[in-house]
Amino acid sequence: MVTPVYAVVGALSWPLMHGVFRLQVRGLENIPEGGAVLAANHISNLDPWPLAFPLWPRRQLHFMGKAELFNPVLGPVLRGAGAFPVRRGEGDVEAIETGVRLCREGKLVAMFPEGTRQQKGLRKKFAARPRGGSARIALAAEVPLVPAAIKGTDQLLRLPRLQISYGKPVPVDDLAGLPPRDAAETATQRLMTAIQALHEEL
């Protein structure tokens, strides 16, 4: 099920995605039927749009958005589209708990481990430590951690072909006996390696 706002945005996006940007999608079969965390590289503020569109109208992605965006004007629209706020850099426990709850309800939570968008695509070597929220949520909710790669959203004015690739879930079963912090760190490392590999194939 999708919200009315999400359904309308998806319908309006169809001609743009298929006609203008010639969206190319790989790996849809890797998206599980139940709850999961979908984590991708981040190169544009518009990344959630093509990342979510291939799953419309059957599935809806629930994104974390920085709390500053949830003002009286944008807040109702963002919430209507399934987004929920996070106070970046403050270890927002409430946002993590919301993500876990959504996953346990069988929903898809989408995140960008790099935290902020990158100016030159996905870095081959991460100068800054990627954030572990994606892994923390997936491990706590006991749902798959699915990598994804996005290409083209940083050049929309040039009308590029948008490309999305969804990968197979990151293996985490062997992390069950580790302390939560160590398990999340290892899972995040595996996740970023998988995202990098997907991006290089686009």
Specify the pLDDT at position 123. Answer: 47
Angle at alpha carbon of residue 113, lines to 169 and 176, rounded to 5°: 50
Specify the pLDDT at position 132. Answer: 92
Range of the domain at 137: 4-201
Whichever domain contains 65, its CATH number is 3.40.1130.10
Specify the pLDDT at position 88. Answer: 66
Specify the pLDDT at position 128. Answer: 57
Stretches where the chain sits below pLDDT 50 are 121-127
Within 8 A by CB and 6+ apart from 5, the residues are: 77, 80, 81
Specify the pLDDT at position 127. Answer: 44
Contact 169, 36 (CB under 8 A): yes
The string of pLDDT tens digits covering residues 10-35 is: 999 999 999 999 999 999 999 999 99
Specify the pLDDT at position 92. Answer: 77
What Å distances lie between residue 3 and 57, 66, 87, 100, CA to CA?
Answer: 10, 21, 24, 20
SS3 85: strand
Within 8 A by CB and 6+ apart from 24, the residues are: 161, 162, 163, 164
The answer, as to whether pTM is greater than 0.75, is yes
Structurally, how many domains does the chain consist of? Answer: 1
